[in-house]
Amino acid sequence: MPPLGRSALVLLPAIACFVATGDPFCLKAGFIGVLLQIVADQARPPSALVLVHGLVIAGLIKLFCLALPSPWSFALLCAGSAALAAWLGRFGGAWRSLGDFAFMSALYSCMAFDVSPAGVAAGYRHLLSWYGLALVPPMAFAWWRGRVPQGARAARDTVDRAAMDAAITRLVSVFLGAAAVHCFHLADGEWLIWSTASVATGSVISSWRKSGDRAAGVCAGVAIGAALSWLILLLLPDATRHGGMLPAVCLLGVAVSRAACRDYRLAIFIRSMLCVVAAVFAGHGFGIGLLRIENVLSGGLIGAAVTLLYSVTRQIQTNPGNFSNSAQDMAHYRRW
């Protein structure tokens, strides 16, 4: 079964519960379930380890909830989690995905709660009440995979020699991004924080290329999403009155795109487009699109700038005599 099919099946219980209850926390749990399934597809662990990964995510969400009222504690926790995820990449791509998706799940979950201490605690308990929707489907797939004969295991991923560079640049970038979100009270700051983590790769060329891909994808996606929303409102003026289902469908589309889209620009385009459509029909207006562009571009610039500064500093320290050759490298990523 292709990854898209598995992701769709993982989401079915969450969709059914949402249709029956109308509770959006069902979909949040389903989103975490898709991330667990993606990691399980890469690492092929037994069902017990899928359960452990899910419990680690639940514990990390709790830590983020505890740190959320304190801006600097939250920024340090974000930075440490993102750096640890990058460092895990030295053990292979599956470990990198495990860390990344644990960080993403905790970040997006806690920042969707009410920021007051009581609201955060209530939101966490509410999410846990539906957490079985995140755990059971990936565990069932892992159990089924263990019973069905498989072909030869793929060779272990090549060890990422630049894992420490990525961890250091992520540590600094995500801390700066999270601090900016809290100091300037930026709305939907999880987009900025994740952009800093995504772009801070430890490599100048890949970092700036990824920043350019994200910029192109988000700008095009927001524009098409706004046009699509306007067209729907033009054809169906009363759509916002019954728009509870459309944002839910868009959220599920965002989750599935992580498993289905291999082209990075296309994936960012689809997620941005769906985010705008969901926001418009959830009553947030078209301004959310500009906010997404601002946060994604700002986070990308922070991650790319920190990576560039780190690389230049390291080059000067390790090989100052050949530093002038870095101008040749600049030509490769200047266009991004």
- Alpha carbon distance 330, 328 (integer Å): 5
Predicted local confidence at residue 243, as pLDDT: 57
Question: In the prediction, which pLDDT does 268 show?
Answer: 93
Q: How far apart are CA 194 and CA 200, in angstroms?
A: 10
Q: Which domain holds residue 276?
A: 161-322
Residue 335 in any domain: the answer is no
Tokens of 323: 């530093």
Shared-domain flag, residues 8 and 71:
yes
pLDDT of residue 145: 79
CA 197 to chain centre: 9
Whether residue 102 lies inside any domain: the answer is yes
Q: Are residues 141 and 167 in the same domain?
A: no
State how far the Cα of 46 lies from the Cα of 63, in Å rounded to an integer.
26
Q: For the chain, how many structural domains are there in total? A: 2
Name the residue among 149, 190, 221 with its Cα closest to residue 298.
190
The answer to whether 212 and 257 have CB atoms below 8 angstroms apart is no
223 in the same domain as 143: no
Q: Residue 235, Cβ neighbours under 10 Å: how many?
A: 8
Could you tell me if 173 and 302 lie in one domain? yes
105 and 222, same domain (yes or no):
no
Q: pTM of the full predicted structure?
A: 0.80
Point out the domain boundary residue: 114, 149, 184: 149
Each of the 336 residues of the chain gets a pLDDT tens digit; together they read: 666 778 888 888 888 898 888 888 888 898 899 889 888 888 788 888 899 999 999 999 999 999 988 889 999 999 999 999 999 888 877 888 889 989 998 998 888 776 677 778 888 999 999 999 999 999 998 888 777 555 444 433 344 556 888 899 999 999 999 999 988 888 889 999 999 999 998 889 999 999 999 999 999 999 999 999 899 888 877 766 655 677 777 877 888 888 778 788 999 999 999 999 888 888 777 888 889 999 999 999 999 999 999 988 877 776 655 544 444 444 433 333
Residue 322 has what DSSP assignment? Answer: G
**What is the structure's pLDDT at 58?**
94
Residue 330 placed within a domain? no
Do 144 and 171 lie in one domain? The reply is no
In the chain, the N- to C-terminal Cα span, in Å, equals: 37
> Do 112 and 209 belong together in one domain?
no
184 and 272 both lie in a single domain: yes
* CA distance to 7, 19, 78, 277, per residue, from 249 (Å): 14, 11, 29, 10
Phi, psi of 185 (to 5 degrees): 50, 50
328: in domain: no
Boundary-marking domain end, from 123, 149, 175: 149
Residue 220, by phi and psi: left (phi above 0), alpha (psi -120 to 50) or beta? alpha
CA distance 254 to 249: 9
| Pair 313, 192 in one domain | yes
Predicted local distance difference test score (pLDDT) of residue 153 = 43
Q: Are residues 182 and 302 in the same domain?
A: yes
Per-position b or e across 20-40, b if 16+ CB within 10 A of its CB: eeeebbbbbbbbbbbbbbbbb
208 and 301 together in one domain: yes
Quick one: 9 and 57 in the same domain?
yes
Q: What is the pLDDT of residue 331?
A: 40
Residue 333: what pLDDT?
39
